[in-house]
């Protein structure tokens, strides 16, 4: 159970509709209201051969290219198509597919529409040859996409560094028993880690673990991938080139796991079947020249439960230099348990010395519209990291995932009252802290999310991922007693 001295307190509101009542946060010093006039809209309705999830809008420090704003997100892996079918309908059924990192440049006045974007980093899927080896991956009954979950942040500009960094997630296949950290570390020293391009499994026990990987860029068009030297000990930055590995002349770079100060790879706590892994998704922000990586992961004591029943915790790692051989500190638990599958983003609030914490949630049963999926938001009383863990994110019972601190988002849904709020993210400055477009100077934040239940532009339901729209919304914070 999450206990805190200042839980979010709902306050009645005079407006009508599906918006929530106002609620207090930030130790009772701040109020968040949704009066029905808060801006929302469609960021993009992808084509049936494309998907968009986890959109971070990153404001750079310069207005010339690659600035002023870069949109980064997880999209589809490029595949060849027939000339008469330039955009065939696709489904997410390949457990090796983690999609691609895509980026695109945009401008202040156009920020409510996702800009044209290009594939920057992905791993080519090997041809289906497992049947010849005596086994083929069973026909999937449900869709899923491998983790990628990009998080972008600037390098040490205060030290003259020009690079920006993008942290992503991949998956490694592990033994049926799940393997322990020591074995994972030994394997990491003996061979290069392949995050997405796994060799075909030798049997139906396809067990995976998430692993953090890293890339850097100067222009958000060309990226260098963090890799290991041939002996497995050295660190190298290898340029990613589209099409590498399709011929015989070169192999695509094999991403190496990011290593922490203890010399261990940054991996998820638990293993799970493909499409059911959890952990390491979160956010990175710079405060006082220190990088704060806040993320959720499955509680180790729940690894023996079915993946959908595993509770999560909120964890923190810090860093001083993202280019070093050992990047992150060891993990520190901030809060937990949280409901299974929780996604939490944390950043310094815009214009305030407080942390803003957004997280997936359900509205309370007595809320307008009933207990539907929403995104919740709370602020801490100050910049003390312990204040994040002191927030009461969910009402009891925590497993239900309900909170009075919901934003009351209106967009999306399947038309029958059901909503999905997947892979939410927000707009940040180059240091990963909250920012808003110039067209919304008085807003406290600019949120994005994917709704996998909302209708596609084509009206077809071939996929619950491809073609599903992504939305945006703003929110407003008012200081209590302010005029």
Specify if 214 maps to a domain: yes
Beta bridge partners of 318: 292
Lookup: tokens for 251:
């192999």
Q: What is the pLDDT, as a whole number, of residue 82?
A: 63
210 and 171 Cβ atoms separated by less than 8 Å: yes
Peptide bond into 68 cis (omega under 30): yes
Give the integer Cα–Cα distance in Å for 47 and 141.
23
Specify if 470 maps to a domain: yes
Q: What is the DSSP letter of 170?
A: E
Specify if 132 maps to a domain: no
475 and 407 Cβ atoms separated by less than 8 Å: yes
Q: Give phi and psi for 119, each to the nearest 5.
A: -70, 130
Please report where in the chains the tokens 């990192």 appear, as a residue.
101
Q: What is the pLDDT, as a whole number, of residue 281?
A: 98
Please report where in the chains the tokens 């033994």 appear, as a residue.
175
2 and 394 Cβ atoms separated by less than 8 Å: yes
Q: CATH number of the domain that 322 lies in?
A: 2.120.10
Name the strands in the sheet holding 332-338, side by side, starting at the edge strand that comes first in the sequence: 282-287, 290-298, 312-319, 332-338
15 and 461 Cβ atoms separated by less than 8 Å: no
Q: What is the pLDDT, as a whole number, of residue 244?
A: 52
What's the domain count of the chain? 1
Q: What is the pLDDT, as a whole number, of residue 314?
A: 98
Give the integer Cα–Cα distance in Å for 97 and 76.
9
Peptide bond into 337 cis (omega under 30): yes
| Residue 434 belongs to domain spanning | 9-79+89-123+144-479
Q: What is the pLDDT, as a whole number, of residue 458?
A: 85
Specify if 215 maps to a domain: yes
295 and 280 Cβ atoms separated by less than 8 Å: yes
Specify if 135 maps to a domain: no
Specify if 416 maps to a domain: yes
Q: What is the pLDDT, as a whole number, of residue 27?
A: 94
Give the integer Cα–Cα distance in Å for 411 and 154.
32
Print pLDDT tens along the chain (483 aa): 333 445 576 554 433 344 447 899 999 999 999 777 799 999 999 999 999 999 999 999 988 999 999 999 999 998 866 666 678 889 998 877 889 999 999 999 999 999 999 999 987 654 433 333 343 444 445 678 888 999 999 999 999 999 999 999 999 988 644 334 433 444 444 443 444 344 334 344 679 999 999 999 999 999 999 998 888 778 899 999 876 544 444 566 889 999 999 999 999 999 999 889 999 999 999 999 999 999 999 999 999 999 999 999 999 999 999 999 999 999 999 999 999 999 999 999 999 999 999 999 999 998 888 899 999 999 999 999 999 999 999 999 999 999 999 999 999 999 999 999 999 999 999 999 999 999 999 999 999 999 999 999 888 889 999 999 999 999 999 998 754
Specify if 136 maps to a domain: no
Give the integer Cα–Cα distance in Å for 155 and 323.
8
E-only strand ranges, 163-206: 164-173
Specify if 3 maps to a domain: no
Q: What is the pLDDT, as a whole number, of residue 10?
A: 59
């Amino acid at each position: 159970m999450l206990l805190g001295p200042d839980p979010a307190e709902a306050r009645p509101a005079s407006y009508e509709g599906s918006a929530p009542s106002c609620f207090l946060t930030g130790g009772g010093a701040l109020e968040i209201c949704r009066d029905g006039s808060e801006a929302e809209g469609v960021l993009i309705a992808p084509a049936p051969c494309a998907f968009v999830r986890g959109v971070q809008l990153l404001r750079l420090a310069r207005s010339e290219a690659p600035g002023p704003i870069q949109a980064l997100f997880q999209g589809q892996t490029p595949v060849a198509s027939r000339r008469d079918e330039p955009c065939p309908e696709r489904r997410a059924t390949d457990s090796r597919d983690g999609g691609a990192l895509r980026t695109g440049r945009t401008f202040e006045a156009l920020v409510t529409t996702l800009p044209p974007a290009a594939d920057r980093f992905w791993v080519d899927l090997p041809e289906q040859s497992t049947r010849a080896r005596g086994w083929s991956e069973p026909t999937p009954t449900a869709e899923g996409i491998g983790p990628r979950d990009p998080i972008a942040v600037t390098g040490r500009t205060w030290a003259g560094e020009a690079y920006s960094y993008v942290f992503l997630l991949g998956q490694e296949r592990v033994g049926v028993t799940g393997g322990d950290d020591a074995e994972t570390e030994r394997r990491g020293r003996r061979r290069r880690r392949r995050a997405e391009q796994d060799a075909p499994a030798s049997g139906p026990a396809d067990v995976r673990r998430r692993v953090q990987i890293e890339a850097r860029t100067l222009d958000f068009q060309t990226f260098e991938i963090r890799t290991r030297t041939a002996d497995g000990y050295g660190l190298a930055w290898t340029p990613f080139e589209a099409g590498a590995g399709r011929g015989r002349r070169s192999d695509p770079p094999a991403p190496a796991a990011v290593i922490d100060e203890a010399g261990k790879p940054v991996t998820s706590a638990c293993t799970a079947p493909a499409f059911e892994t959890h952990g390491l998704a979160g956010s990175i922000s710079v405060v006082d020249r220190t990088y704060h990586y806040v993320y959720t992961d499955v509680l180790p004591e729940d690894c023996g439960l079915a993946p959908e029943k595993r509770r999560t915790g909120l964890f923190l790692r810090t860093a001083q230099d993202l280019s070093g051989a050992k990047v992150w500190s060891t993990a520190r638990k901030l809060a937990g348990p949280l409901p299974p599958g929780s996604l939490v983003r944390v950043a310094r609030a815009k214009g305030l010395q407080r942390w803003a914490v957004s997280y997936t949630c359900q509205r309370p049963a007595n809320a307008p519209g009933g207990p539907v999926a929403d995104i919740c938001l709370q602020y801490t009383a100050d910049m003390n990291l312990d204040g994040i863990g002191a927030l009461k994110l969910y009402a009891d019972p925590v497993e239900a995932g309900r909170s009075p601190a919901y934003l009351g988002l209106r967009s999306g849904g399947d038309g029958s009252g059901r909503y999905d709020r997947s892979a939410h993210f927000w707009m940040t400055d180059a240091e990963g802290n909250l920012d808003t477009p110039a067209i919304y100077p008085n807003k406290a934040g600019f949120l994005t999310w994917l709704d996998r239940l909302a209708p596609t532009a084509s009206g077809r339901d071939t996929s619950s991922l491809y073609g599903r729209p992504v939305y945006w919304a703003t929110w407003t914070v008012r200081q209590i007693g302010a005029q």
